Structure 1
Amino acid sequence: MLDDDMPYDEMTDTQFEEFCFGLMQELGFVNVDWRKGTGFNASPADHGRDIVAERSIEEFDGTHHVERWFVDCKHYKQGVPPDKIAGLLTWAAAERADVALVIASNYLSNPCKDHLQLYQVNNRPPFRIKHWERPQLKKLLEGKDEFVARYVEARPRTEAEILAAEERRTDKLWYYRKELLYHSIQIGQRAPLEPEVDQLIKSAMQQMEDQYKGDQDFVIPGDDQEEWNAAYLLGELSALRWVLGDEWNNGDS
């Protein structure tokens, strides 16, 4: 799985908490409780932890004991600051959790990591402190393709992705239409272009071939299906432009 497979930055706070809730279940935790409690994006009544989960541990002699994990989900595009994990540590100590875990959609800030180290040295808490950042999440998700697909394949496209797709298909449609133009000239349906116009178009086509060289989504036509390709692209382009607020059937290229 690539680092950017999971759309963490595009999730809302609630969606990231939902992802963490699902991840805990996927990793084998039981009695996983998402303590959201409200329909709002933030839940001030979660008492320092977004999720409470249990993990069964088997000892070497075959006996079992259960660990209780308090999980705080931090959806930040920048580093998580130290003050944002204070509630987790306070409630983990007050309610005697076994593990206090911070799951970050990005990374903890360096001051936050320093704070956690000092907290362990100065307080010697009865619980373990763990944090999962993007590299740890990537490793935990290895081999869990079906779980990852819920968030990658089914997610809505961002406006940036739609704009990029619209631009690419505009270029492709322009190129295909020029292929059709030269094909019609070749078979005698149209008169040859003026030399200056012909040179400008061929130069622009060459620049486009260079621009999209190696791009598997931009296949330079080399068969007899240019007309079908142009019609297909017109449909794609019209749909993308409609999503972006244009009128239907705008196929200008």
Structure 2
Amino acid sequence: MVDDAGMPYDDMTDTEFEEFCFELMRELGFVNVDWRKGTSLNASPADGGRDIVAERQVEEFDGAVHLERWFVDCKKYTKGVPPDKLTGLLAWATAERANVALVIASGYLSNPCKDFLKTYELNNRPPFRVKHWERPQLSKLLEGRDEFISRYVDARARTEAEIVAAEEYRTNRLWYYRKEVLLHNIEIGQREPLEPHIDRMMREAMRQTERQYADDPDFVIPEGEHEMWNLAYLQGELSALRWVLGDDWNNGDS
């Protein structure tokens, strides 16, 4: 199920979002889908305001089938999309007689942008329909498409920020586990007590870590027969993540 609070494309670049929209159009049944990127740059300066051109089969009541031509402009914006960013799409839809001009926004169109589109349709009466899919519409379109999400979106390369966050989380888990073991060994007499100020600082750091991960039931490695296996698995994950970030193999420091 898609969670609108965290959409699968949120961490994508502009180009990755265009590719996501391209694959989504195909998933929705569009045919002859053409991604007009044409460059290796992060943006597509030569796309003429239509990142994607696609066709949709429409069946009439009498069974006749014809193709609608859609021009699609993809907008990966953290803020509302401004009106001037849609003029290229509308110009090309007019010049090349598209049936639909579609804006796909990762977030939302700005209110001035929505007013602009309404005014444009009222004053120009274009021969094509103007549509826009914003975040809520995309969330609805992705409902029930878990296979598509896992096949395409979840298979993308992780960003460096995602890798760093995963490494930090596992480092904190390992650090906390080792401090628990240290305190246990002190309590049973297998280790000498720490200096009072060091003990106090360590316990406060542990309390801060507990507050930070209070809502995460998997943070603390549970005691029991699987404890050593869970610890080894955690160290393996940590070693792999650190290697990806440029460290040597088998770095288990915490």
Q: What's the TM-score once normalised by structure 1's chain length?
A: 0.85
Contact 2:9 2:153 in 1 (8 A): no
Equivalent position of 1:19 in the other structure: 20
The answer for the alignment partner of 1:244 in structure 2 is: 245
Alpha-carbon distance in 2 for matches of 1:172, 1:139: 36
Structure 1 SS opposite 2:215: coil
Change (3 A) 1:57 1:221: same
Matches within 5 A, 1:19-98: 19-98=20-99
1:183 deviation in Å? 4.4
Distance change >3 Å, CA 129–CA 167, structure 1 → 2: same
Letter in 2 for 1:14: T
Partners of 2:221 and 2:227 within 8 A in 1? no
Unaligned stretches of 5+ residues in structure 1: none
- Cα offset, 1:227, TM superposition: 4.7
Amino acid at match of 1:212: Y
Distance 1:152 1:45 in 2: 26
AA matched with 2:164? L
Quick check: 1:176–1:229 contact (8 Å CA) kept in 2? Answer: no
* Letter in structure 1 aligned against 2:239: S
Using structure 2 for the length normalisation, give the TM-score: 0.84
* Residue 220 of structure 2: aligned partner: 219
Separation in 2, partners of 1:45, 1:159: 29
Consecutive unaligned residues in structure 2, runs of 5 or more: none
What letter matches 1:94 in structure 2?
A
Give the structure 1 partner of residue 158 of structure 2. Answer: 157
CA deviations over 1:158-196 (Å, ceiling 9, x no partner)? 3333333223222221222233334445665x2442583
User: What letter corresponds to residue 214 of structure 2 in structure 1?
Assistant: K
Distance 1:226 1:149, change over 3 A: closer
AA partner of residue 97 (structure 1) = A
Any idea what SS the aligned residue of 1:8 has?
coil
Write the distance in 1 (CA, Å) between the matches of 2:97 and 2:204. Answer: 72
Mapped contact 1:53–1:68 kept (Cα < 8 A): yes
Alpha-carbon displacement from aligned partner over 1:126-174 (angstroms, at most 9, x marks no partner): 1110011111111111111111113442223233333332232222212
Kept after mapping to 2: 8 A contact 1:6/1:152? no
Give the aligned residue type for 2:48. Answer: H
- Could you list the per-position Cα deviations for residues 17-44 of structure 1 after superposition, in whole angstroms to 9, with x for gaps in the alignment? 2111111111111122222333333344
Identical positions, percent: 71
**Which amino acid in 2 is paired with 1:62?**
G
For 2:193, the equivalent position in structure 1 comes to 193
Aligned residues: 252
Q: Partners in 1 of 2:119 and 2:16 — Cα distance?
A: 32
Does residue 1:100 correspond to 2:122, yes or no?
no
**Equivalent pair of 1:176/1:226 in contact (CA under 8 Å):** no
Partners of 1:223 and 1:247 in 2: CA distance: 31
